[in-house]
Amino acid sequence: MYVNCGYLNHLLRDEFEQSTYSSRPNPMIVGSCGEYRLISYPRYGTKRPKGRKDYQLLYIAAGQGHFVINGVDRVLSAGHLVLYHPDQPQDYYYLLQDQPSVFWIHFTGTEVPELLRHLGLTPDKPILSTGVIPEYKRLFRQIIQELQLAKPMYEDVLVALTRQLLALAARNLNRDGHVSGAMQQEMDDAIQYFNKHFAQSISVEEYAKKLHISTAWFIHSFKEHTGMTPMQYILSLRVSNAQTLLETTNYTITEIAAIVGYDNPLYFSRIFKKQLGVSPQQYRSQREKQQDLS
């Protein structure tokens, strides 16, 4: 299992909830943030019958997650967020076969309830469908890095980044509202298909043909549902999985390129750098330095 996380003032796991930070009259304070992906564990889950004393937001960046909401089992695909309020029961798990990639953040504060109400995020709407937004991952990872490095004024930076994350979620809330129920299911099925076969050669035209719809309409509906075209989504899966391999294995760049679907390692490196701003080798070196610091 790959885990990358940061805690306020380097507190240990769950100590934030028990510390004086959680009871101080702060407008907003971020306690922890992290990312995890199942690599070898067959199943990973969390059960908190009484919930927590802070707020928790989870974002499914890839794959899918299984949640029990008000006694009902829900399978949520990539592009969904789940917001838990204080004392709200939590019961969810992830399966290796679903290839999940999930981000989470804990925060609290006197201004948070009003902020969430203003954004339309209420306890009776714990599941938010906003689409697969690459900006989410960038914000989550920046928050994690701020927690890990703890540079001067980092607590203020954490609040600003979290507010930006919540505002972005509110902006994209219900972006798939124009897609019919049947078509929404077709798009969820397409997401699962792409998650399983992203390393293979995928023809969007052939996939749309199987659905008996035009390629243009499929691309339009998929973008309405996820915020990306099918090929952009497949590319994001390849790059995301390449990141995992760079961070957790000793495979060469050529080997990783082949695993995620590129026969030409130079082309893979160009694509990777275009998406993340650094080459695969530079990315691996940066992650190793960050892990040494944390």
The 10s digit of each residue's pLDDT in 260-280 is: 999 999 999 999 999 889 999
Among the ranges given (130-134, 185-189, 197-201, 272-276), the one the predictor scored with the smallest mean pLDDT: 130-134
How high does pLDDT run on average in the chain?
A: 85
12-16, 35-39, 155-159, 224-228: least confident range? 12-16
Rg (CA), the chain: 19
Specify the pTM.
0.65
- Residue range 194-218: mean pLDDT, rounded: 90
pLDDT of residue 256: 96
Report whether pLDDT(12) > 70. no
Residue extents of the structural domains in the chain: 2-172, 181-293
Angle at 66 between CA 28 and CA 177, to 5 degrees: 75
Q: Where are the beta strands (DSSP E) in 63-159?
A: 64-69, 72-77, 80-84, 90-95, 101-108, 127-129
pLDDT at 261: 95
* Structure confidence at residue 180 (pLDDT): 47
pLDDT tens figures, 47-63: 999 999 899 999 998 88
pLDDT in tens, 114-152: 888 777 677 777 887 777 777 888 899 999 999 999 999
Mention the CATH class of domain 181-293. Answer: mainly alpha
What local confidence, expressed as pLDDT, does residue 19 receive? 54
**Packed helices 215-226 and 230-248: angle between N→C axes, nearest 10 degrees:** 50
pLDDT of residue 128: 79
Question: Quick count: other Cβ atoms within 10 Å of Cβ 110?
Answer: 12
Domain 2-172 CATH superfamily? Regulatory protein AraC (2.60.120.280)
CA 183 to chain centre: 23
186: pLDDT strictly greater than 60: yes
pLDDT bracket for residue 176 (50, 70, 90):
very low
Give the C-alpha separation, 4 to 198, whole Å.
24
Label residue 187 by pLDDT band (50, 70, 90). confident
Binned at pLDDT 50, 70 and 90, residue 28 comes out as very high
Q: What is the pLDDT of residue 288?
A: 82
Q: What is the band of 179 on the pLDDT scale with cuts at 50, 70, 90?
A: very low
Interatomic CA distance for residues 233 and 166, integer angstroms: 22
For residue range 93-115, list pLDDT tens digits in order. Answer: 999 888 889 999 999 999 998 88
> What is d(CA 87, CA 274) in angstroms, rounded to the nearest whole number?
43
Closest residue by Cα to residue 190 from 173, 204, 172, 175: 204
The two three-digit tokens of residue 178, written as one number: 């124009």
